Amino acid sequence: MNVYLEIIRPGNAVMAVIAVILMGIIGQNYNLPLILGTLAVFLATGGGNVINDYFDHKIDAINKPKRPIPSGRISLKNAYIYASLLFGVAVIFGILSSYLLDNYIPTLIVALSSLLMYYYGKTLKKIALIGNIVVSFLTGLCFIFAGVIIGLDTSSFGIIYTSLYLGFFAILMTMAREITKDMEDIEGDKLEGAKTFPIIYGNKVSSIVTGFLMVIAIVLSPILYLNGIFNIYFLIVLLLAIATFLYGVYKILKDQRPENCKNVSKLIKIGMMIIFISFAIGSF
């Protein structure tokens, strides 16, 4: 894979894009402002991943030495320039979307999100829970961003309320995954002087919090059907996601070693993908 594609972590960027596409499916809106917003989300997410690797190159040299920067396949200078370009082009797409909608809100969301991702990589991720909350918020914001664009385009605020519901569940699931990833990276984070939640409170407490967040998401998820947002097919697919999350809860409570935390992180990501599929199927 080309190093400039690899460093944006296209899988994560596509996950963010899927959130926007799902809102398009739910709102039955595929117009140009949303397409521009989708491009903005992909580029801004990619820029966030690059700038995160830029600031994390010392930690990654310990935890993930095969990544582009610690492996020497891309220089720190080039990574910084690349991140800046991605953020800049993302804001341009946000401006174009705002122009078509005659509303500045999409531009504001893209610009502020880009700044937040920069400061997350620089300082916020090293603060216990704050960094996790920021990443979770940004994930949920993808749904809300798309909901705002569709709402402005169609003059319908019902889709914005729906996006707030979906954003909330995305925040819960992402928060669980972020804490699990911190448990996986605890040794490298200690050497770098980071104050992550697992470092302060230990992996056992962190595993309980992670499990609690996943259980809360599981228990509350049927609300999306009961409120009439999705049809019965949503619940059918949801069962598979619930089984995946429950297995993740069992594994993380039983074993907090880094290698197991990595597996649980993957399980949560798979569960989130299934949830996204359930959103799409449930909207037909």
**Could you read off the pLDDT of 123-157 as tens digits, one per residue?**
887 787 888 899 999 999 999 999 999 998 887 77
Minimum mean pLDDT range among 37-46, 54-63, 85-94, 260-269: 54-63
d(CA 178, CA 261): 11
The CA-based angle 217-219-222, given to 5 degrees, is 95
Residue 186: closest CA among 178, 176, 198: 198
Distance in angstroms between the alpha carbons of the first and the last residue of the chain:
36
pLDDT on residue 269: 87
pLDDT on residue 1: 62
d(CA 111, CA 162): 23
Q: Is the pLDDT of residue 16 over 80?
A: yes
Q: Is the pLDDT of residue 60 over 80?
A: no
**Could you read off the pLDDT of 213-256 as tens digits, one per residue?**
999 988 888 888 888 888 899 999 999 999 999 999 999 999 88
**What is the CATH architecture of 3-282?**
Orthogonal Bundle (1.10)
Contact 62, 187 (CB under 8 A): yes
Q: What's the length of the chain?
A: 284
Most confident of 72-81, 101-110, 193-202: 101-110
**Could you read off the pLDDT of 83-114 as tens digits, one per residue?**
999 999 999 999 999 999 999 999 999 999 99
pLDDT on residue 82: 95
Tokens encoding 55: 């600031």
Question: Exposure pattern of 173-194 as b/e (b: 16+ CB <10 Å)?
Answer: bbbbbbbbbbbbbbebbeebeb
d(CA 101, CA 37): 11
Q: Is the pLDDT of residue 170 over 70?
A: yes
**Could you read off the pLDDT of 35-53 as tens digits, one per residue?**
999 999 999 999 999 999 9
pLDDT on residue 240: 93
Pick the residue with more confidence: 81 or 259?
A: 81
d(CA 73, CA 88): 23
d(CA 41, CA 34): 10
d(CA 216, CA 162): 19
**Could you read off the pLDDT of 171-189 as tens digits, one per residue?**
999 999 989 988 888 877 7
pLDDT on residue 30: 83
pLDDT on residue 228: 80
